[in-house]
Amino acid sequence: MPLFQPPLAPLPSDLTFVTKTIIVTGANSGLGLAATKHLLFHQAKEVIMAVRTITKGEMAKSQILADRDVQKGTLMVGLLSCS
Ligand SMILES: NC(=O)c1ccc[n+]([C@@H]2O[C@H](COP(=O)([O-])OP(=O)(O)OC[C@H]3O[C@@H](n4cnc5c(N)ncnc54)[C@H](OP(=O)(O)O)[C@@H]3O)[C@@H](O)[C@H]2O)c1
């Protein structure tokens, strides 16, 4: 059976995260890092980067905060291991 991905509706242009606290798992790289940046860019009130290696999380946080476009809201790093 072929895999089928139905088309997704575009996100509403007035989508806002200004009142939201969001936890992103695997936030120090890949999709998690990209999602964290995206949420801050869209003015999330608070994003918690849930990582299994705090030093990697803090490095990723520094990288994100160096980007002027995403310096909004609060960004925290927390320990989470799913192993
Ligand atoms: N369905 C699809 O089309 C599709 C497409 C792309 C990706 N994916 C899936 O989406 C996920 C993320 O992809 P990605 O490219 O962003 O991967 P990635 O760059 O390898 O990132 C994985 C993240 O998960 C963390 N992680 C891995 N094992 C963990 C554990 N046991 N406990 C806590 N954290 C753990 C890693 O932390 P460390 O840095 O400490 O290792 C890293 O932050 C993967 O599962 C991938 O298979 C699916």
Average pLDDT of 63-80?
Answer: 86
* Domain range 21-79, its CATH number among 3.40.50.11260, 3.30.70.20, 3.40.50.720, 3.40.50.11290: 3.40.50.720
Residue 21: phi, psi to the nearest 5?
Answer: -110, 125
pLDDT at residue 78, rounded to an integer: 96
Best mutation site among 24, 28, 29, 53 for ligand 1 pocket (most ligand atoms within 8 Å of CB): 29
Ligand 1 centroid from CA 83, angstroms: 12
pTM of the model: 0.86
Cα(44)–Cα(5) distance, integer angstroms: 28
pLDDT tens-place string over residues 23-58: 999 999 999 999 999 899 888 999 999 999 999 999
What is the CA(28)–ligand 1 centre distance, in A?
9
Alpha carbon separation from 30 to 14, 25, 27, 41 (Å, rounded): 26, 11, 8, 17
pLDDT at 72: 66
**Cβ of residue 36 lying under 6 Å from some atom of ligand 1:** no
Read off φ and ψ for residue 15, nearest 5 degrees: -60, 130
Contact between 73 and 40 under an 8 Å Cβ cutoff? The reply is: yes
Average pLDDT, the chain: 91
For residues 20 and 44, the answer to whether their CB atoms sit within 8 Å is yes
58 or 8, which is more confident: 58
